[in-house]
Every structure is written in C-alpha cells, then in structure tokens.
Structure 1
Amino acid sequence: MDELKHIARHAGVVLAGQLAVMAFGVTDTVVAARYSEAALAALSVGTAVYISVYVGLMGILQALLPVWAELHGARRAADVGPSVRQALYVCCLTIVLGMAVLLAPGPLLNATDVPASLQLEVRRYLAVLAWALPPALLFRLFSTLNQSLGHPRLVSVLQVGSLLLKVPLSVWFAFGGWGLSPQGAVGCAWATLVVNFALLGVAAWLLRTQRLYTPYALWRRMEPPDWRQIGAFLRLGVPAGLAVMVEVTSFALMALFIARLGTTASASHQVASNVAAVLYMTPLALGIAASARTSYWLGANEIGRAGQTAWLGLAAAGVIAAGFSALLAFSAPLVARLYVSEPVVLAAVVALLPWVALYHLGDALQAVALFLLRSYRITMTPLLVYGVLLWGLGLSGGYWLAYEGIGPWPALFQARAFWITSSVALGAVALLLTAILAIATRRATLQG
C-alpha cells in the first residue's frame, strides 16, 4: 500500500504538469474552432504532423528515465551528471532530425492527399513549430531527469505556470489586436514557440541555482562524446522512440486520411483526438511514476519489489481508465459542447466520442505496460507489436473500412471507421504487452 501511495503521489504531480501541457492543445483547438472551421482543419492536420515528429523524438529521450532512476536507486549520484551530458548529444541529434521534417513536410502532405486548400496554412504552421521544437526537446530532457530522480514537482509547477502565458498569447496571435494582424492557426504556433523558450530558460536557471541538483554535478563542462554510452542510449531510446512514433503516427495519420472527407470530418476528428489525448495524460503519468519507481528498485537490487511495483501501476491504470471511459460514453454531448457550437460539427463529434471511450481502455493499459517494459530494457518487441497491430490493423484497417469496405461491411466514408479499427488494435496491443510484462517480471525474479 505504501508503494501505491508513492506511485500515486508521483503520478499526481506529473499529471498536473501533463494536463497543463495538454491544455495547450485544448486552448489551440478551441481558439481555432472559434476563428474558423478552416483554421481548425489546418490545425488538425498540422498538429498531426508535429505530434508525430515530436512524440517520436521525445520517446527517445523519455526512454532514458530508467537509466537515471537505476543510478538513483544504486546511490550513484556522481554518475548522473556525466550521463546527462552525454544524453545532450542524443538530444541535439533529435533536434536536427525533427526540424528537417517540419521544415519540409511536402512529401508527407502530398502522400496522404491533404487538400491543396489546406496545405499552405499547414506549412506555415509547421514552419513556426520547427523552431519551437529545440526548446521543447531540451525541456523534455530536463523533465525526464527530474522524473527519474523522484523530483517531478518543479517540472509540473513550470508547466502549470506556462499555461498562464500560453492562453492569452494564443488568443492574441490568432485573433490579432494591439497592432498585430490575425494569424489564425499559425498564431497558435507562435504562442507555443514563445512559451517553449520561456520554459527552457527557467529550467536552465533552476539547474544552475537549485541545491537539489548539487549532488549530481550536472553543471560541468561538456565531455567529448562517449560513443559507447551514446550507443547504449540509442539502443534503448531508438526502439522506444520508434514504438511511440508508430503509436502516434497511427493516431496522427488518421487526421491526414480523414482530411479528404472534408473540413467537418477533420474538425470533428480534431476534437475527438484532443479528448483522447487529454484522457491519455493519466496513464502517461502513471507509466512515468511506475517506471521510475520500478527502475529505482531494480537499481537497488530489490527485484521482487520492482515486480510488485510494476503490477500495482498497471492495475491502477486499468481501474482509472474504466472509470474515465464510462464517464465519457455517458457525457458525450456535454463534452462536445465544450469544444464546438456549430450544429453539424457538434453532431459529428458526439458520434465519435463513444469510440474514443473504447479506444481509451486499450490506450491506457498499453501505455503503462510500455513504460514498465523499458524498465526491464525491453524495447524491440513492443516496436514490432505496434508496427503490426497499430499500422496494420488500426490505420490500414481504418482506411479500408472508411474508403473501400471490409468483407460484409461497406465503406463508411466517415471518421469513425478509423476509431473503430484503432480501438480493436489498441486492445490487442494491451493484451500482448501485458503478457510480455508478465514474462519479464517473472524472469527477473527467477534470475534475481
């Protein structure tokens, strides 16, 4: 019970910060919806591309959490600083890759048949976010470090505080005023850029001045690249990042394929995906907390306790997800009205939200299981599972159900086709990752 309380406290702090970050997306969705249906559609497509890039690269950095948590559990504080500085080289690589994609999104937009009428606004939106990516990834490294050391509070305080800056900036830049012309969806991107640099600046100041970081010797001159250690980071981080990218792209590419159904379909999907992303914040926080604590006990060579912690985290995620899914299914009209008021879009959103509720059940369990498997250094198998089920069954199946039909089911030509197949795919992923976790914890206990 004490372990569950520890996970709950850690997850609660992380959740507060993650919800604040998620509120960035909610703010932009509401602002774009009030600006115009076209702006909301452009935001939907642009966000899909950006999130695919950012979350995949973020997954590489987030996968380093067990490394520093184990050093913390083994009482090797002096080794944390050099390890973090080597991770900066990995972070720089992710920045270069991410900016290259965001500054040249044409091939992706053309391959997914995004209408030409949307492409110009989407390109402008992504060009701004390309420069918001470096501070976002560097701050993610700061966040991962704090979570691994059991100090997530500072990160959450910064994220919650940044929301006070993001909301007025998004409104101002989107609608204009005080000498600034209206910029629609692109204005939301400019607001994100300003906030990301502000967060990074405060994070750097905290690392320099706060005593809690002193034992880790973080603020030292950069050592030359240690290719052996960087290689170890990449072997852990790249499969983990690719797995997250497969998950997110299977989710985000839905927006690009749905775009051909028209602005109403894109707008309703943007709202549905935003609701799903908000719900995802709770299992994400639980996954981070449970993984950090599991890795801590593995570093302390308490193998049995690590396994118990892992299963506590997964069970908590399942119970909470069931409650949230039921609540969303029964309150779909109310939730939809929080986002949109236009009757046609409102009806389309209400039709999607019950499928979002089902989607969340599998999403929550697989998310926590994925984090826990990283603690046991298992990253390649989840990547294969994600590729086959999320891209194969979820995304490809959704395309066929939406536009071609599958067996006795005719083509729906509706956004819900993608949500139906993705819900089934995520449920299968959750079952498989849970089974792999059971094998991993049992094997570790026998070997320990």
Structure 2
Amino acid sequence: MTPAGFAASVRRIVPLAWPVFVGQLAVLGFSTVDTVLVARHSATDLAALAVGSAAYVTVFIGLMGVVLALSPIVGQLFGARKLAEAGAQLHQAVWLALGLSLLGSAVLLFPAPFLALSQASPEVASKVRGYLLALAFSLPASLLFTAFRGFNVAVSRPKAVMALQLGGLALKIPLSATLVVGAPGLGLPALGVEGCGIATLVAMWAQAIAAWILLRRDPFYASFGLRGHGLDRPHGPSLKALLKLGVPMGLSILIEVTGFSFMAIFIARLGETPVAGHQIAANLVALLFMMPLGLSNATGTLVAQRIGAADLHDARRLGWHGMQLTLLVALVMGGGVYLARGAVVRLYTDNPTVIAAALPLVAWVALFHAADAVQTVAAFVLRAWRIATVPLVIYAVALWGVGLGGGFMLAFDDGTRFPAAWRGAPGFWIAATAGLAVAAAGLSLFLLFVYRTKEREAHTAVAATD
C-alpha cells in the first residue's frame, strides 16, 4: 500500500530532490564563480558577463526545455515498467539535442540582436562577442548532457548526474580563475569574461564525454538497452511526441527566463553600475532557486511515475504535498536572505557603489523567491501530466505582460505616473515579483482544474465498466 500523509510524501520527495539540488548548485556554481571573479576583475567585464549571460541563457534554456520533454515521457514509461521503451526515448532525445544545438550555436555566433537591445558600448560588445563565441561551441555538449540528466532524473537516478556536475565544477573553478586574471608565469594573458567562456567550453565537453562513458559501461543501464549499445536511428513518431510536448515546454521556460534575463539587457541601458548591481541580485536569486528546482524535479518525477503506474490518487497527493513543501522551504530561505542582505551582497563585491545598487534589489528576494517556487512546482507537475500548452499562455501573460512589460513602464517612467523609488532597476524587480505571483496563482488554479477533470474521467470510466 502506498504511504499517505504529508510526512510520507516528504520522505519520498527528499531522496530524489537533494541530489538534483546539489547538482544544480554545481551548475549555478559555473555562473557564480564567473560573477565573483569578473566582479573583482573589472566593471566592464562584469557588464559584459551580464549581457552575455542573458543572451546565452535565453538560447540555452529554451532549447533545454525542448530536450527535457524526455523526462515526463520516460517517467511515465518507467512507472509502467516499460524499460526498453524508456531507453529508446533517450536515443531520440540525443538526435533532438544535436539538431537544436546547430540552431542555438548559430544564434550565439551572431549576437547582434542582444547587443542592440542592451545598447552596449563598443568595449562591452567586443567582450560579449568573445564570451559567446566560446559558449557557442559548448552548447552541443550542454544539450547532450541535458538529455542524460532528464533521463536519469526520470528513472530516479539523480546521483549519477550530480556526480558529473560536481566534477564539471571542479574542473571549471581553476580554469576560470586562471583564465580571467591570467598566469604571467605560463604566458597566459588576463582574458576577463572571455576566459570564463573558454573554461565553460572545456568543462561541459568533459561532462558530456563522461556521461557517454557511464551510459556504455554501467550495468544499471542494461535493462534500458543502453549499455554497449549504438545510437538508434531517428524515429519520426518518437521525435514528433518529444516536440509536441517539448516545444511548449521550451517556450514556457524561454518566457520564464527571458522575462528575467531581458531585465539585464534593459537595465544595461541605465549604465554599468545598475547592471552590475542587478547581476549580483540575479545570481543570488538563481542560487536560491536551486532548492525549489530540486524539489520540483523530484515531485514531477514521482507524479509522472505514479501516472505511468495508473495510481492517479497518489499522483495528485504527491503534487499537492510537493507544492506545500516547496513553498515552506522557499519562505524560510528567502526570509533568511532578506535579514542578512547586507552581509550577503558584500560577499560578492567590496565596491560601495555596486553594493548601493544591489541592496534595494536584494530586498525583494523573499517575495520573489516564494512566488517563483510555487509557479515552478506547479509547472513541473503539469508537465508530468504531459500538459504544457495552457501553462505557456499563462507564462506569456504573467511574465512578459505583467513582469517584463510592467517593469519597462516602471523603470523608464518619467516621474509623472509612478513613485521615483520605482524607477530604474527596482522597477523591473517589483514588476517581476508581481508577474511571478500571477503565474503561481494561474498555474495552481489550472492544476486544480486538471485534477478535477481527471477525477471525473476516472469516475466515468469506472461507471462504464459496472
């Protein structure tokens, strides 16, 4: 009998969530290390990192979302014990990742639209181009590793992913530290932000190669038809199913990320100091987000598996309990950062001007983080049911309309409609928080509608068999 109650659900969610959390911390460690190193190197390089990171994240996250359609599909197959079919889906996700990487790399190699939006100075634009050049060649490895990650999380094996992500970070840290400031004794010049891109390129390909070796040699993957097995040919129906779910998933994640990353691009118009302050606050929010992301991944995985096992009651229970747990953790973490915001910002920089720019933004973290946590877990649970189109509409209205559109109105107001304190970078953070709150409410209400619809369908099916 499946255990019931909130505590029982927590005991099932946490073992899957903590490896995802640690692994995602390692992923965020890439950008955190870069932010800290570059912030102490020069304000110009930090501004280039903010714009370049926003451009890369916009491209990578949207494509990553398409590849991650693999996860709910494999989760349901794993719950139904259709292991060979689950393994076959990974092969198709690899083909999908390779195809998408061609598109994404081309965009990164020609970043003129992002530079125009940010109105970057010629010096900053040059550094952005060098940074994105390296990331364009790292993108295929990142998307291939995304397929590996999505498969392993879906079959309740996130520790394998975590181990490789920690290994990638261990390689990234000394590479970035050396390349950013240079090593005169070795004849290496200081590359600044461009060194960060090169370090990421090396680390991501090392991760992807290690994942391929693990798939071919670890006995765990034998039952999925993966161990020592070559790559299957592209299968039209499977690729179509991945795209049917993955495209709205990818667009939803793209909206979510661009609603935030475009803040950096627009704030860059205000000058180097405001965008540097925003970069610190954005990195801090991203760091906090890893916990609800881990809990949401675990909740979505378990829900998908229970759907595959035809235990819809347990799937619903896990979804609600996962949301309650995630919100509770987010409130505690966000509140702690708010209380210690001064000390936290000083961990990033000792520049008093940048500190002054960052502190008003960090003050919004608690509310921002709580709303972000709820909308994330609701979205993951809906994806477990293979539902992504309606969430896409909710995201567009909430995050682009309320968040980004509202932020632009507040930030660039001429002082006639809104308080002066809302102008500039704080305006974007106020509107982004409101947008996330709207998204959290909309997705939660729609999830409730889905549950009630599934209950009616189940009752109708039972009545038809009587």
Change (3 A) 1:111 1:408: closer
1:390 maps to 2:396: no
User: Is 1:170 matched with 2:180?
Assistant: no
* 1:221 Cα deviation after fit: 3.3
Q: Indicate whether 1:374 and 2:361 are aligned.
A: no
CA distance change for structure 1 residues 407 and 304 in 2, over 3 Å: closer, same or farther? farther
CA contact (8 A) 2:299 2:381 kept: yes
Confirm whether residue 439 of structure 1 aligns to residue 443 of structure 2: no
Using the size of structure 1 for normalisation, the TM-score is: 0.97
Identity among equivalent pairs (%): 40
Matched, 1:142 2:148: yes
The alpha carbon displacement at 1:37 in A equals 0.9
Task: Report the equivalent of 2:284.
Answer: 275
* Alignment of 1:225 onto 2:234: yes
The aligned counterpart of 2:358 is 349
Give the Cα–Cα distance (whole angstroms) in 2 for the partners of residues 117 and 174 of structure 1.
17
Alignment match, 1:206: 214
Residue type at the aligned position of 1:333? G
1:180 alignment partner, one of 188, 200, 207: 188
The aligned counterpart of 2:3 is none
- State yes or no: 1:47 paired with 2:53: yes
Counterpart of 2:246 in structure 1 is 237
User: Which residue, 241, 246, 258 being the options, matches 2:267?
Assistant: 258
Letter in 2 for 1:403: F
Q: Note if contact 1:71-1:299 (Cα within 8 Å) is conserved in structure 2.
A: yes
Q: 1:189 aligns with which of 197, 200, 204?
A: 197
Q: Secondary structure at the match of 1:35?
A: coil
Partner amino acid for 1:320? V
Q: Distance in 1 between matches of 2:414 and 2:444?
A: 32
Instruction: Give distance in 1, aligned partners of 2:350 and 2:93.
Output: 46
- 2:376 alignment partner AA: A
How many Å apart are 1:90 and its aligned residue? Answer: 1.3
The residue number in structure 1 matching 2:315 is 306
Q: Distance in 2 between matches of 1:112 and 1:238?
A: 27
Contact preservation (8 Å) 1:115, 1:259: no
Q: Is the 8 A contact 1:73 1:295 kept in 2?
A: yes
SS at match of 2:40: helix
Q: What letter matches 1:116 in structure 2?
A: P
Secondary structure, aligned partner of 2:220:
helix
Select the residue among 114, 130, 142 that pairs with 1:124: 130
CA 1:215 to 1:296, structure 2 compared with 1: closer, same or farther past 3 Å?
A: same
Deviation at 1:160, TM superposition (A): 1.6
Deviations 1:347-374 (A, max 9, x none): 1111110112221111111011111100
Identify which range, 161-170 or 410-419, moves more after superposition: 410-419
Deviation at 1:161, TM superposition (A): 2.4
User: Which moved further from structure 2: 407-416 or 379-388?
Assistant: 407-416
Query: Aligned residue for 1:420?
Result: 430
Alpha-carbon separation, structure 2, partners of 1:166 and 1:420? 34
- Tell me, yes or no, if structure 1 residue 332 matches structure 2 residue 325: no
Q: Residue 167 and residue 424 in structure 1: after superposition, are their counterparts in 2 closer, same or farther (change >3 A)? A: same
In structure 2, distance between residues paired with 1:130 and 1:435: 39
Matches of 1:316 and 1:413 in 2, distance apart? 35
Q: Is 2:291 aligned against 1:291?
A: no
Alpha-carbon distance in structure 1 between the residues aligned to 2:359 and 2:348: 11
In the other structure, the counterpart of 2:121 is 115
Write out per-residue CA displacement over residues 66-86 of structure 1, whole angstroms, 9 at most, x where no aligned residue.
Answer: 110111110111112222112
**Does the Cα contact within 8 Å between 2:338 and 2:363 map onto a contact in 1?**
yes
Distance 2:117 2:283 in 1: 24
Output the aligned Cα RMSD.
Answer: 1.3
Q: Cα offset for 1:407?
A: 6.7
Is 1:63–2:69 an aligned residue pair? Answer: yes
After superposition, the C-alpha distances for 1:129-184 in whole angstroms (9 at most, x for unaligned) are 00111111101110111000000001111112222211111110101102211100
**2:165 aligned with 1:156:** no
Any residues of structure 2 matched to 1:5-84 within 5 Å, and which? 5-84=11-90
Structure 1: which amino acid aligns with 2:150?
T
Q: Is the 8 A contact 2:75 2:154 kept in 1?
A: yes
- CA gap 1:405/1:10 in 2 versus in 1, 3 angstroms: farther
Of residues 215, 240, 258, the one that matches 1:249 is 258
Structure 1 counterpart SS, 2:412:
helix
Distance, in Å, in 2 between the alignment partners of 1:133 and 1:242 is 18
**Cα distance in 2 between the residues matched to 1:184 and 1:216:** 44
8 Å contact 2:374–2:440 — kept in the other structure? yes
Deviations 1:330-350 (A, max 9, x none): 111011011010111011111
Q: Alpha-carbon deviation of 1:384?
A: 0.8
Larger mean CA deviation between 341-350 and 404-413 belongs to: 404-413
